[in-house]
Amino acid sequence: MGSWLKKVRARGAVFAHDLLMIPVAWLGGYWLRFNLGAIPDPFFAHALEVLPAVVVLQGGLFWYFGLYRGVWRFASMPDLIRILKAVASGVVVSGAVVYALTQWQDVPRSVFILYGLLLVGLLGGPRFAYRLLKDWRVYHQAGKHVLIVGAGRAGEMLARDLLRDPERIYRPVGFVDDNTAKRGKDIHGLPVVGGCDDIPGVVGAHGIDLIMLALPSASQQQLRRIVGICEAAGQPFRILPRMQDLVNGQVSLKELRDVKIDDLLGRDVVSLDWRAITDGMRGKTILISGGGGSIGSELCRQLARLRPRQLVILERSEFNLYSIELELRRDYPDLPLVAVLGDVGDAPAVERLLSTYRPQAIFHAAAYKHVPLLEDQAHAAVANNVFGTRVLAAAADRHGCEAFVMISTDKAVNPTNVMGASKRVAEILCQAMQARSKTRFITVRFGNVLGSTGSVVPLFQQQIAAGGPVTVTHPEITRYFMTIPEAAQLILQASVIGRGGEIYVLDMGEPVKIAYLAEQLILLSGKKPGVDIEIVYTGLRPGEKLHEELFYDGERLADTAHPKILLARSDLPDAELLDSTLTMLESSCRRHDETKIRESLADLVPAIDTARRPKTVVARGTS
């Protein structure tokens, strides 16, 4: 109530000011008409006689044209335009009324023009003078000196938000932008002082305390370069999210955040055929195995948006299942959701699950994935990754499931470890199932995802928080990375592209050095590598490769309808060899015979036996 009264009083004061300016401008027009001298009595009398009508008409037009929608503090060009419209209309209407009353006897016509000019100045002048006074105080206020990187629309809006911030914590000093056409120009009174390469010099010359990156449309390569320059400048920096993360194009001080590793390693926005994905998933019962894991839970989130008839989550971790169920019921209260605690290797439980809910699509994300841990526990890797896949795939076939999408990994290519070999056998198994099933068996293969459970990023972050050291196995080791949402979305895209039997390879971009990843995480934490936090190289772990691959040399690659998805065609092993080897593998797994398990894996995946150093193959169509 108090705030409303304050607004009413403020508008009333402005309206009273404007009404007072009308007689000043009207009589001022007469005074100018008579060369700043005394106004003859007949003319002065007529001026006073028609003045009430002019005030009423002009005041009504002020209100009609919305002069009191704006705030003096932020007076701008739209406010000036409203004043011009109101005054021009007032001159015309007042002239017509005065003519009707006096036939312009003793009323010089030039008075109306002079009156209009004076009134525009008397209305606009105080408004803009008030804004200049306020802006002068803002520009000369105390606060942290801020340099804005990016003089585009986002930078301009951010500067405006900083200047209007009532707390006045930050004081913008200027911009830098690589667009040479903007150099030397002013935006909201702030100069564009140079390009991004000039940031260290500008920071020193202007006493910059904080750098703000207003580059929501920047590519990964551009952002990595600019972040490197900011790090060299030695001052903290913050960033606006990427454009796809900004709601309705909102750009404000509240949106600023610290730079994340996803900003540097994430890629450009992936364009998806959401219509095809929606048509393929809407109204269907969908089962996700491993639905509480990093990829599985993101698939749950993406699919929940598509309004399936029912979403069934199979997960062996009680806590993970509880977490994703709680999130989905909160965010999608109308979603028909079934959360099942169970194991894909439990054949009776899987049979009952599929006979009860009869899913039309299955996304198989359940798998063990930790390479060093599984090297000495091959039986666990094979039981889960191979025979868990066989149990679920066979049930999908029996119950007429339309599509079975298996999530694979780049470690399945020329694997030198048990984990990768087990995933490769699962790929082969799904391809073999396609030959004797009406279900579409589709495999999607990709590399590491940023921030997934057990991945290198959370490990490095824990090590940094503990004061170091950060452990990297080898200075030259590289890995492919993508974000969890991007991986999940491309999996959905591949699921609607696939006709069955394919192995789709997601374009992972360029491989990233793990040493670079460690350095960036240390820098983003506000510390210096080798000074505050040491990086220690520990040597390659059992089964670990220096460089991962995305496809075999013998696989025939083909483009698909989506530029980020490639099709890898490969020949299957002999069906009898596959069946006999799987039988031996299952028997060895039950006995926990690690040696025999490795021998059987090597029969199907020779790379694990030779443990050769792979030749790195870079994905096509990189971003």
- Structural domains for the chain: 2-137 (no CATH), 142-259 (3.40.50.720), 282-610 (3.40.50.720)
Q: What is the pLDDT of residues 500-531, one digit of tens each?
A: 888 888 777 778 888 888 888 888 777 788 88
Q: What is the pLDDT of residue 76?
A: 57
Maximum mean pLDDT: which of 2-11, 295-304, 530-539: 295-304
The pLDDT of residue 364? 96
Does residue 615 register a pLDDT over 50? no
Tokens for 2, please give them: 């108090």
Q: Which of 137-146, 259-268, 421-430 has the highest mean pLDDT?
A: 421-430
For the ranges 71-75, 134-138, 182-186, 572-576, the maximum mean pLDDT occurs at 182-186
Residue 131 half-sphere exposure toward CB, CA atoms < 13 A: 18
How confident is residue 239, by pLDDT bands cut at 50, 70 and 90? confident
pLDDT of the residue at 77: 63
In degrees and rounded to multiples of 5, residue 581 shows phi and psi of -70, -40
pLDDT at position 244:
47
The token pair that represents 463 in the structure block: 């090590």
pLDDT over 90 (residue 331): yes
Confidence of residue 344 (pLDDT cuts 50, 70, 90): very high
3-class DSSP assignment, residue 174: strand
pLDDT at position 35? 73
Q: Between the ranges 187-196, 254-263, 315-324, where is the mean pLDDT highest?
A: 315-324
Residue that wins the pLDDT comparison between 194 and 542 = 194
Helix (H) or strand (E) holding 212: strand 210-213
Dmax of the chain from CA atoms? 121
Closest to 406 measured CA to CA, from 381, 421, 438, 428: 428
Flag the least confident range among 21-25, 453-457, 479-483, 525-529.
453-457
Dump strand ranges (E) for 290-402: 310-315, 337-341, 361-364
Catalytic residues: 411
pTM above 0.75, yes or no: no
Q: What percent of the chain has pLDDT over 90?
A: 21
Q: What is the mean pLDDT of residues 601-617?
A: 59
Q: Which pLDDT value is given to residue 380?
A: 93
For residue 614, what are the CA distances in angstroms to 350, 553, 608?
37, 10, 11
Task: Find, among 424, 427, 380, 384, the residue nearest to 405 by Cα.
Answer: 427
Q: Which comes out higher in pLDDT, residue 503 or 27? A: 503
Place 393 in a pLDDT band, splitting at 50, 70 and 90: very high
| 579 compared with 335, residue with greater pLDDT | 335
Counting residues of the chain whose pLDDT is more than 70, the rounded percentage is 82
Structure-block tokens of residue 380: 């666990």
What's residue 142's pLDDT? 55
Mean pLDDT of 542-549: 77
Confidence (pLDDT) at 69: 58
> Span 193-216, mean pLDDT?
86
Higher pLDDT, 408 or 75: 408
What pLDDT is stored for residue 3 in this prediction? 46
- For residues 332-355, b (16+ Cβ closer than 10 Å) or e, as one string? beebebebbebbbbebebbeebbe
Give the Cβ contact number of residue 270 at 10 Å: 21
β-bridge pairing 361-364 and 285-289: parallel
Residue 361 in this model has a pLDDT that exceeds 80: yes
Residue 456: the pLDDT is 79
Residue 2, pLDDT > 50, answer no
For residue 301, what pLDDT band results from cuts at 50, 70 and 90? very high
List of E strands, 133-206: 144-149, 170-176, 186-187, 190-194
pLDDT tens figures, 70-96: 544 445 566 777 778 878 887 787 777
pLDDT at 391: 96
At 12, the pLDDT band (50, 70, 90 cuts) reads: low
Structure tokens at 266: 């994430």
Q: How many beta carbons lie within 10 A of that of residue 125, not counting itself?
A: 11
- Please tell me the predicted confidence (pLDDT) of residue 347: 94
End-to-end CA distance of the chain: 55
Given a cut of 80, whether residue 416 has pLDDT beyond it is yes
State yes or no: pLDDT of 5 exceeds 50. no
Helix, strand, or coil (residue 445): strand
Query: What is the per-residue pLDDT for 70?
Result: 52
Distance in angstroms (rounded) separating the CA atoms of residues 257 and 238: 5
CA pair distance 582, 60, nearest whole angstrom: 90
- Average per-residue pLDDT in the chain? 80
Predicted confidence (pLDDT) at residue 42 exceeds the cutoff of 80: no
For residue 622, what pLDDT band results from cuts at 50, 70 and 90? very low
Q: Sign of dihedral through CA atoms 441, 447, 451, 454?
A: positive
In this predicted model, what pLDDT tens digit does every residue of 149-167 receive, in sequence order? 988 888 888 888 787 776 6
User: What are the pLDDT digits (tens) for 437-461?
Assistant: 899 999 998 877 776 666 777 788 8
Return the percent helix, strand and coil in the chain, to nearest 5.
50, 15, 35
pLDDT at residue 133 in the model: 65
Q: Could you tell me the pLDDT band of residue 252, with boundaries at 50, 70 and 90?
A: low
Alpha carbon distance 619, 564 (integer Å): 10
Of the pLDDT bands very low, low, confident and very high (cuts 50, 70, 90), residue 248 is very low
Count of other CB atoms within 10 angstroms of residue 559: 11
Highest mean pLDDT among 109-113, 156-160, 323-327, 554-558: 323-327
